[in-house]
Each structure stands twice: as structure tokens, then as C-alpha cells.
């Protein structure tokens, strides 16, 4: 046993490493990024395969392939990443897992760094798969270990759900001796993982048959426990336990049901509700447990409180004050920064000084400035900040890769000029397939791909194609060679860039403008990570740094 000081993300990663994984698969996204990065850091010897995938769907499929072939695998992503991976995820509940297959998802209540709030517990329920929800870093480690065992015992993928506050805070974690499970054989029976309807029906029946076993597991699991005391009860899901303890302390008259494993252990919930007159459900995210507890008809004679009746807010993260008020206590109003005497000026988010995206958007805005108001479809990355002044260069930004698809739709509605701007990684993640359609129909749009040689927004991870590799891909997708224009995103090229972009906007068909210059942090990042692609950039290679 050893003791480490770990982020919640890192605790999951170490739990996976100590479970003897053969590989970690992921696409970066806050607050889940550090799960993969921890594995990558600890496994430079190559014993565990760890490379960023092009997107979350592919990461999930790669992990499934490893499980199929007989090695344990972890796949991690942020909550919206599971929307991208939802197709293989849902079907994997039918194929099941061969070697342990664990999906770690970090939800972002409060949207610190995300385009929406969503609660992964609904996804696990939707797929009818077991889910672990740690309350602290120790449980994150222990649950990762348990998740691999459960996955292999029941032949199913298992989900671990983290939330931002847990993923990104540190605490002591006691680790246990690592295991090196013997490699399992591959999946032998082709019918198990070949989801033709005739096979899929049998696999779905198997999944349904397993539900009772999963419920028994969660009922007996030490990660769910109950203490019956006074008539006021609380159900504490995952990290909610910490807020409750901070507000009330461990020495309490409340009856407490702490939940960490799902499916919801209904007999424990029933016991608590029978014992109490009032039950407050405290959960981060959606009112998942509360909604199931109340059902359509409510619980006669009992007061059930939570997000549905407004005792807790439906939106945002829990705080100790929110929990205090839910329990009828006065808020403490935290510790306002101003009480320290330090004035902290408001700082709206902005692109770094010297960022290549500034040069790109200056050129686009000037080139598009004419009599007709342009339709500007943006995408997700550092460059989304061009929505703010002085650029005001984004009219819509919805989900990763949406810019090109939305531009196509607008052009087909007769809009002109239509410009999609998309980062290099976002293009590879989910912009490429849309561009194939645009090229096929020669749709009247201009697509600007911002090649800054890394995934800047999430901390500078390696992008799978940059420079000449990226332009080769664009050609390969069928874009007319004469309308692929490569520009240097530097101030000295501004006039020339405006002229070239304007020419492509005026062209009535598909054109792709690739703007190249590495993020100004690329060199530092390359030194830190030893990333090969970036080392090429910093050495004055494929892109001007």
C-alpha cells in the first residue's frame, strides 16, 4: 500500500493502471482530460497503450476492440463526449465486455468549461449498465478497481461518473497492490459481438436478465450505505456526501442513505422513506434519484425535497450554502474576495496576445465586410472567443464539428456569404465527414480551418494531423484543388490574406482556406510533453511557430 496525493481524475486513472489495463483511450475535454494524461505520464515505457483518439466515438470503439481481444481497457471523456460516443456505447451494452471495459465520464455541472449540463447517470440507465459515482478521491480509486471486477464478472461495460469539483480537486489516496490479470482469450463466438438483429435480440435479452443481478450487487455494495437515526432523512449521491458533512458534520441526527453505485438500490430507499417523515435528495446534476423516488404519483404522507420542488436549484453546481439552505440553515455567504481588501478586476475571456487566431479572424472579418451580412458559423476551441469584440465573428457555435454542417444547411437555404470556421482538432473530430458532403455537392460555402498545430483549448494535446498532413486530408475528401488556399496567420501577411479570403468568399462553390501558425504556447508544450508533432513545429518544421 502507498499513499498518493491525487486529483479525482488521477485516482480513477491509477485505479485503472493498478487493475492491469492494456490501454487508455480518450479525446480531451475538461474536466476529464487528466484521466488519460495521468496514464500517459505514468506509462512512457509503452507497456500500456495510450494515444489520443480522433474523437470520443473512436476512443470508445478502440477500447471495445481491446476488450474483445482480451485486455482490460479504460476510455474517458467529458460528458458531451458521450453524446458523440453514444452509438457504440449503447450497443456495447448488448455486446457486453470480454476483458474489463470501463468508461469514465466527467460531468460539468455549472458549465465551467462546457456548452451544456448533462447527467451521465441517465446514459447508464438508458443503456442499463452499472454506474459508480465516487464521493471522494479514495472512492474514485477504489471504484475504478471495483469497476473492472464488475465488468468482467458480469461481462458488461461499467461506467464511472465524476463531476468537476471531484475531478479537479486533490486528496490523499491509499492504493493497494496492483494486479496483473492474466490475458483473457479473444471473444470466440462471432454471434456475441455481431449485432445482426437475430443476435442482437438474444444479447438484449441477456442484458435484461442481468438487471436483477446488478440490482443485487448495488444493494449489497459497501459503496452504498445507510444509517437510520432521526425522522429527517437525506439521500446523498456521490460528492453530495461531502457537502452534507461540511454543513452538518459527521455527528448528526439525520438518517442518511449514501449512494455510490447504481442501479438505485430500491429496498434501501424504501427503508429510509418508511423510517423518515421528510427526505431531502441531494445530488449533483439532474434530479435523477429524486425523480425515480417520486415517480408519477408522489409518495403519500412523506415530504420529498430536492430539485423538483425547488428546495435545491435545478441548475449549476452544489455549494455548501445551497445545501445549508436546503436543510433549513442560514447561508454563510462564503468568503467574498473583497473582504481580503484585494480588488479583482473583471477579466472577460480573450485570445492570448499574439495568438494566430487573431490574425485569421482579422482577415476573415475584413474580407467578409461588404454589403451583405455574412453568415458566420463557428466551432468549439480557443477560436470561439472570436465571438466577442473586436471580432464579433461568430453567429452560432453549438457542438464540436457543427460549423460545417450548419453552413451547408444555411447555404442550401439560399444564404450567402456563408463562412464556417473550425479548428484543426475539431475538424478531425467531426468536421471531416461534413466536408465530404460539401465537396460532393460543391456547396457554396467557405470553410476556414485554423491549423495551430495542437489542441489548444484543452491544454495543448497533440493534434492527429497538421501542416501538409492536414491539407492532404482536405484534398482527399474531394475538395477542388483550385479552391484550397493555405495562408500564414501572421500580421505581415494581412493584406494578402484579406485578398485571398475575399476571392474565395466570392467564388460560388466550396472553398477551403487553411490558416497556419502554431499556437504561441506550442513550443513550451512540446518541451513539456515531448510530443513529436510539436517538436517538429518548434524546430521550425511544418508550421511557422
Instruction: Compute φ and ψ for 108, nearest 5 degrees.
Output: -130, 65
CB closer to ligand SF4, 289 vs 386 = 386
Residue ranges in 221-335 assigned as alpha helix (H)? 240-248, 266-275, 288-294, 320-326
- In the complex, minimum distance from the CB of residue 59 to ligand TPP, in angstroms, rounded to a whole number: 10
Go through the chain and tell me how many residues it has: 545
Q: How far apart are CA 31 and CA 60, in angstroms?
A: 18
> Distances from the Cα of 301 to the Cαs of 281, 304, 485, in angstroms?
17, 10, 70
Burial 56-93 (b: 16+ CB within 10 A, else e): bbbbbbbbbebbbbbbbbbbbbbbbbbbbbbebbebbb
Q: Is the separation of the CB atoms in 521 and 509 below 8 Å?
A: no
Q: Is 545 in the site for ligand TPP (CB under 6 A)?
A: no
382 binds ligand TPP (CB under 6 A): yes
User: Which member of 323, 418, 456, 533 binds ligand TPP (CB under 6 A)?
Assistant: 456
Report how far residue 380's alpha carbon sits from residue 403's, in angstroms, rounded to the nearest whole number. Answer: 9
Q: How far is the CB of 539 from ligand SF4 (least distance, A)?
A: 19
- DSSP annotation of 381 reads S
Letters for 82-121 (x = contact with ligand TPP by CB under 6 A, - = none) are --x-------------------------------------
Q: Can residue 426 be called a binding residue for ligand TPP (CB under 6 A)?
A: yes
Q: Which does 455 bind (CB under 5 to 8 A by kind): ligand SF4, ligand TPP, none?
A: ligand TPP
SS3 category, 415: coil
Between residues 22 and 460, which has the closer beta carbon with respect to ligand SF4? 460
Q: Residue 396's closest CA among 379, 382, 419? A: 379
Shorter beta-carbon distance to ligand TPP: residue 94 or 526: 526
Least Å distance between CB 362 and ligand TPP?
A: 16
| Residue 351, contacted partner among ligand SF4, ligand TPP, none, CB below 5-8 A by kind | ligand SF4
Residue 385 within binding range of ligand TPP, rule CB under 6 A: no
SS3 171: strand
Complex with ligand SF4: residue 387 or 520, whichever CB lies closer: 520
Q: Which positions ≥6 away from 190 have C-beta within 8 Å?
A: none
Q: Which residue, 450 or 498, has its beta carbon nearer to ligand TPP?
A: 450
Q: Which of 81, 233, 260, 536 binds ligand TPP (CB under 6 A)?
A: 81
Residue 298 gets the label, from left (phi > 0), alpha (psi -120 to 50) or beta, of: left
Q: Contact, 150 vs 114, CB < 8 A?
A: no
Q: Which residues pair with 226 in a beta bridge?
A: 257
- The minimum distance between CB 248 and ligand TPP, in angstroms, equals 36
374 binds ligand TPP per the rule CB under 6 A:
no
Binding mask 14-33 for ligand TPP (x = CB under 6 A): -------------xxx----
Q: Which does 238 bind (CB under 5 to 8 A by kind): ligand SF4, ligand TPP, none?
A: none
Interface contacts to ligand SF4, rule CB under 6 A: 351-352, 355, 357, 382, 452, 456, 519-521
Identity of the residue, 357 or 429, whose beta carbon is nearer to ligand SF4 in the bound complex: 357
Q: Kindly state the smallest distance separating residue 55's Cβ from ligand SF4, in Å.
A: 20
**Residue 391 to residue 389: CA distance in whole angstroms:** 5
For residue 163, give the C-alpha cell.
463531476
Shorter beta-carbon distance to ligand SF4: residue 505 or 519: 519
Interacting partner of 400 out of ligand SF4, ligand TPP, none (Cβ under 5 to 8 A depending on kind):
ligand TPP
If we measure between CA atoms, which residue out of 436, 473, 467 comes closest to residue 450? 467
State how far the Cα of 236 lies from the Cα of 240, in Å rounded to an integer: 5
> Nearest distance from residue 77's CB to ligand TPP, in Å?
7
CA angle at residue 60 from 57 to 62, to 5 degrees? 110
Residues that bind ligand TPP (CB under 6 A): 27-29, 78, 80-81, 84, 380-383, 400, 423-426, 452, 455-458, 463
Amino acid at each position: 500500500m502507498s499513499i498518493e496525493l491525487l486529483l479525482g481524475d488521477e485516482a480513477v486513472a491509477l485505479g485503472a493502471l493498478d487493475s492491469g489495463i492494456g490501454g487508455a483511450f480518450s479525446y480531451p475535454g475538461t474536466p476529464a482530460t487528466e484521466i488519460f494524461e495521468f496514464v500517459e505520464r505514468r506509462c512512457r515505457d509503452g507497456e500500456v497503450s495510450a494515444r489520443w483518439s480522433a474523437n470520443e466515438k473512436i476512443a470508445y470503439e478502440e477500447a471495445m476492440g481491446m476488450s474483445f481481444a482480451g485486455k482490460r481497457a479504460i476510455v474517458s471523456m467529458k460528458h458531451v463526449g458521450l453524446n458523440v460516443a453514444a452509438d457504440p456505447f449503447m450497443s456495447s451494452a448488448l455486446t457486453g465486455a470480454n476483458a474489463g471495459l470501463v468508461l469514465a465520464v466527467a460531468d460539468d455541472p455549472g458549465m465551467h468549461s462546457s456548452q451544456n449540463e448533462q447527467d451521465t447517470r441517465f446514459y447508464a440507465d438508458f443503456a442499463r449498465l452499472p454506474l459508480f459515482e465516487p464521493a471522494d478521491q479514495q472512492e474514485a480509486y477504489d471504484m475504478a478497481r471495483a469497476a473492472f471486477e464488475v465488468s468482467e464478472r458480469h461481462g458488461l461495460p461499467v461506467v464511472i461518473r465524476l463531476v468537476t469539483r471531484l475531478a479537479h480537486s486533490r486528496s490523499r489516496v491509499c492504493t493497494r497492490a496492483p494486479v496483473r490479470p492474466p490475458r483473457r482469450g479473444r471473444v470466440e463466438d462471432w454471434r456475441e459481438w455481431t449485432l445482426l438483429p437475430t443476435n442482437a435480440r438474444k444479447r438484449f435479452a441477456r442484458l435484461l436478465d442481468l438487471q436483477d443481478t446488478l440490482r443485487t450487487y448495488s444493494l449489497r455494495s459497501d459503496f452504498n450505505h445507510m444509517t437510520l437515526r432521526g425522522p429527517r432523512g437525506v439521500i446523498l449521491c456521490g460528492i453530495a456526501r461531502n457537502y452534507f458533512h461540511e454543513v452538518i458534520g459527521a455527528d448528526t441526527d439525520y438518517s442518511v442513505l449514501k449512494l455510490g453505485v447504481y442501479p438505485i438500490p430500491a429496498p434501501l430507499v424504501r427503508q429510509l422513506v418508511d423510517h423518515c417523515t421528510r427526505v431531502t435528495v441531494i445530488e449533483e446534476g439532474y434530479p435523477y434519484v429524486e425523480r425515480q423516488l417520486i415517480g408519477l404519483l408522489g409518495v403519500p404522507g412523506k415530504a420529498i425535497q430536492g430539485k423538483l420542488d425547488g428546495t435545491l436549484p435545478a441548475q449549476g453546481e452544489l455549494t455548501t450554502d445551497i445545501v445549508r439552505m436546503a436543510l433549513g440553515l442560514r447561508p454563510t455567504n462564503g468568503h467574498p474576495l473583497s473582504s481580503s481588501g484585494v480588488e479583482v478586476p473583471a477579466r472577460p475571456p480573450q485570445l492570448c496576445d499574439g495568438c494566430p487566431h487573431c490574425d485569421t479572424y482579422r482577415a476573415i472579418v475584413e474580407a467578409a465586410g461588404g454589403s451583405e451580412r455574412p453568415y458566420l458559423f463557428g466551432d468549439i476551441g480557443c477560436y470561439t472567443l472570436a465571438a466577442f469584440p473586436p471580432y464579433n465573428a461568430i453567429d452560432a457555435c453549438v457542438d464540436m464539428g457543427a460549423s460545417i454542417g450548419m453552413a451547408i444547411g444555411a447555404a442550401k437555404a439560399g444564404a450567402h456569404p456563408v463562412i464556417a470556421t473550425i479548428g484543426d482538432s475539431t475538424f478531425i473530430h467531426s468536421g471531416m465527414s461534413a466536408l465530404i458532403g460539401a465537396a460532393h455537392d460543391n456547396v457554396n460555402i467557405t470553410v476556414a480551418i485554423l491549423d495551430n498545430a495542437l489542441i489548444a483549448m484543452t491544454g495543448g494535446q497533440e493534434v492527429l494531423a497538421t501542416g501538409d498532413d492536414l491539407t492532404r486530408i482536405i484534398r482527399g475528401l474531394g475538395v477542388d484543388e483550385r479552391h484550397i488556399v493555405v495562408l500564414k496567420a501572421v500580421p505581415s501577411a494581412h493584406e494578402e490574406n484579406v485578398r485571398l479570403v475575399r476571392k474565395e468568399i466570392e467564388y460560388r462553390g466550396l472553398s477551403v482556406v487553411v490558416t497556419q501558425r502554431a499556437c504561441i504556447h506550442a513550443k513550451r508544450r512540446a518541451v513539456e510533453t515531448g510530443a513529436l508533432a510539436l517538436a517538429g513545429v518548434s524546430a521550425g518544421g511544418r508550421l511557422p511557430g
